């Protein structure tokens, strides 16, 4: 497990962090000659402290996930690292400019703080029995009746909405595929999609979760099935949207190849 924890910590902070096998907190080492991000962390004590908190959150979640789940945590960190670097690129020239250096440090600090909060929430969810969490889902469960005209004949169906991945932003609860009735809560077991096309899948009852990765670029479209993943260490699967007249009635179908997983989701509130 030590190797996996160290890998997760280094990916998390982008610095040369080391930890003793006794589980003591990670300590920054000499980062001369390391990446611009590492050099920025060495210069900024506050930023380094934020990185330490994130490293601790990674270690705690890895310990809780156990042997079967540690690679899932590390894969999530790799996916997050890609998003962090895209949101907060740091070049060597930025280090010589105080204003740019401060802006980059602020961006990195915000990204790491948000990631720490997400990991701590996942840890709390894994430790709390699912039955203890209240159900919090949209009122989209009932099936809709078929509208008819004055002669009792079905009205022509209106064209379905055409939407892209950004419109899926938010949290989704697992539901019965036939009735739309939610069968899971939105706090411990859920699918979450961000505006930049990344997803995270959470269920404390499944050892391989949480899983994270990008939904785009991919092949296909949401109506027929959008394929995603396939990169090393990232889950691969298909996402399909059954778009209704109103967003609250949408259904989302997700399948994963490894681990084998398939479920229907409806929107959380």
pLDDT given at position 250: 85
Distance set, CA 61 to CA 29, 36, 56, 74, 170 (Å): 24, 28, 9, 10, 23
Burial of 219 (0-12, 13-18, 19+ CB in 10 A): exposed
CB-based contact 232:78 (threshold 8 Å)? no
54, two tokens: 């994130």
pLDDT digits (tens, 9 = 90+) for 85-139: 888 999 989 888 989 989 999 999 999 999 998 888 888 877 765 444 444 444 4
Q: Which residues contact 91 (CB under 8 A, 6 or more apart)?
A: 36
Task: Count the Cβ atoms, other than its own, within 10 Å of residue 13.
Answer: 27
CB-based contact 14:35 (threshold 8 Å)? yes
* 199-217 mean pLDDT: 79
CB-based contact 223:241 (threshold 8 Å)? yes
Q: For the whole prediction, is pTM greater than 0.75?
A: no
């Amino acid at each position: 497990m030590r190797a996996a924890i160290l890998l997760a910590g280094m990916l998390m902070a982008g610095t040369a962090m080391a930890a003793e096998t006794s589980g003591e907190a990670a300590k920054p080492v000499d980062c001369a000659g390391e990446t611009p991000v590492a050099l920025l962390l060495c210069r900024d004590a506050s930023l380094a402290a934020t990185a330490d908190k994130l490293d601790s959150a990674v270690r705690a979640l890895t310990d809780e996930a156990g042997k079967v789940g540690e690679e899932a945590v590390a894969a999530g960190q790799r996916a997050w690292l890609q998003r962090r670097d895209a949101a907060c690129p740091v070049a060597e020239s930025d280090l010589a400019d105080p204003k740019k250096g401060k802006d980059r440090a602020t961006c990195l600090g915000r990204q790491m703080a948000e990631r720490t909060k997400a990991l701590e929430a996942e840890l709390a969810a894994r430790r709390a029995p699912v039955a203890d969490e209240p159900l919090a889902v949209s009122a989209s469960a009932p099936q809709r009746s078929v509208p008819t005209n004055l002669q009792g004949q079905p009205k022509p169906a209106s064209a379905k909405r055409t939407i892209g991945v950004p419109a899926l932003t938010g949290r989704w609860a697992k539901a019965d595929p036939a009735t739309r009735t939610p069968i899971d809560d939105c706090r411990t077991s859920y699918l979450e999609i961000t505006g930049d096309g990344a997803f995270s899948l959470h269920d404390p009852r499944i050892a391989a979760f949480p899983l994270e990765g990008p939904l785009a670029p991919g092949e296909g479209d949401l109506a027929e099935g959008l394929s995603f993943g396939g990169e090393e260490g990232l889950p691969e699967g298909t996402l399909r949207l059954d778009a209704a007249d109103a967003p609250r009635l949408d259904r989302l179908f997700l399948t994963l190849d490894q681990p084998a997983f398939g479920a229907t989701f409806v929107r959380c509130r």
